[in-house]
Amino acid sequence: MPDTCTPEESLDTQPMLPRVHYLTKPLSHIGAWTHYFRNAEIPVLAITARAIEELRAMEDDVDANMLTPIIQADPLMTLKLLARVASLRRPGSNTETESVTTSLVLMGISPFFRHFDKFITVEDWLADQPEAMQGLQVLLNRAERAGQFALGFAVHRGDTDATIIHQAAFLNDFADMMVWLHAPTLAIQIRDAQSADSTLRSSVIQKEVLGIEMNDLRQALMKLWHLPELLVNISDDRHAAHPSVQCVVLAARLARHTAADWENAAVPDDIEDISRLLNASPRATLAFLHKIDHPVVEAAALTCSLQPPELSDPSAPTASTAD
């Protein structure tokens, strides 16, 4: 901006950034945290906001299939949509609406644009918190890879809920994302403690810094926002024996352990557990994991086959997809 601009001219050309009040101390209990997040702002990625605004200009020609890839590439926008659609249902009513596409069809395109008429972006929200922006980006990258792994597991198993399993893994860290957005200094404390001690359990440091465990917050918020029941159940690792839940839990675990590289000491145990889920040898499983560890936009190719050849192992028994 030229130095000759007057203050009034500067105000006209500067973007209007949100007034953000971050939490700097933990709240007293899980109920206080869920109450705080009940109506808390959920910013979306700037690329998501721009893409939706471009489609808004041609609203009459837009359908759910055009909006879906934009929304489901952003876990925060996905969360906003699912919570909004859930709020439109009668209390206690059940629904088959689980995916982004079916949620858009239920809501309607024009109502979607009317309700989501203005966006606050993550980049603006954390404009004065570059360290938090970096921490959130790590989670976003991890969410994409977790969704990718879970989709691969589900497709190999021939699971009819592959889409919702992918979505559940993609949203697995949404509570952590909300803490990075609304309590960045606390999130940084957790990250730094784990960086200093790789043996430190996540639940222990979360309890110490936040007074709660993130899994409990995630479940409480899903129920508070009345998110689809299948999504809640799949995302609850307390139902760990169910294969669909294993797809989500193991995908999220592997994405976390391989965020930097594949040398983490926990990876061999992850591979053993995943190989049992997929009924394949650890060697074939590792090859399959490397094969599907690529950008989510390429994941559509997985749906072309329910039995990826990378898991073929002549020495192993015939794989079964039975639960």
Q: Are residues 137 and 241 in the same domain?
A: yes
Given this model, what pLDDT does residue 13 score? Answer: 37
Q: Are residues 190 and 263 in the same domain?
A: yes
Q: Name 105's Cβ contacts closer than 8 Å, sequence gap at least 6.
A: 64
Given this model, what pLDDT does residue 148 score? Answer: 95
- The reply to whether 300 falls in a domain is yes
How far, in Å, CA of 254 to CA of 267, rounded?
7
Q: Are residues 300 and 211 in the same domain?
A: yes
Q: Are residues 163 and 279 in the same domain?
A: yes
- The reply to whether 27 falls in a domain is no
- The reply to whether 15 falls in a domain is no
Given this model, what pLDDT does residue 285 score? Answer: 96
- The reply to whether 251 falls in a domain is yes
Given this model, what pLDDT does residue 246 score? Answer: 92
- The reply to whether 68 falls in a domain is yes
- The reply to whether 124 falls in a domain is no
Q: Are residues 157 and 265 in the same domain?
A: yes
- The reply to whether 33 falls in a domain is no
Q: Are residues 143 and 292 in the same domain?
A: yes
- The reply to whether 28 falls in a domain is no
Q: Are residues 185 and 262 in the same domain?
A: yes
How far, in Å, CA of 202 to CA of 198, rounded?
10
Q: Are residues 192 and 79 in the same domain?
A: no
Q: Name 22's Cβ contacts closer than 8 Å, sequence gap at least 6.
A: 129, 182, 183, 184, 185
- Segment 216-251, tens digit of pLDDT: 999 999 988 888 777 788 777 677 788 999 999 999
Domain range for 206: 129-304
Q: How many domains does the chain have?
A: 2
Q: Are residues 168 and 266 in the same domain?
A: yes
Q: Which residues of the chain are modeled with pLDDT < 50?
A: 1-15, 296-310, 313-323
> Domain with 212 in it: what CATH number?
1.10.3210.10
Q: Are residues 65 and 142 in the same domain?
A: no
Q: Are residues 133 and 113 in the same domain?
A: no
Q: Are residues 283 and 178 in the same domain?
A: yes
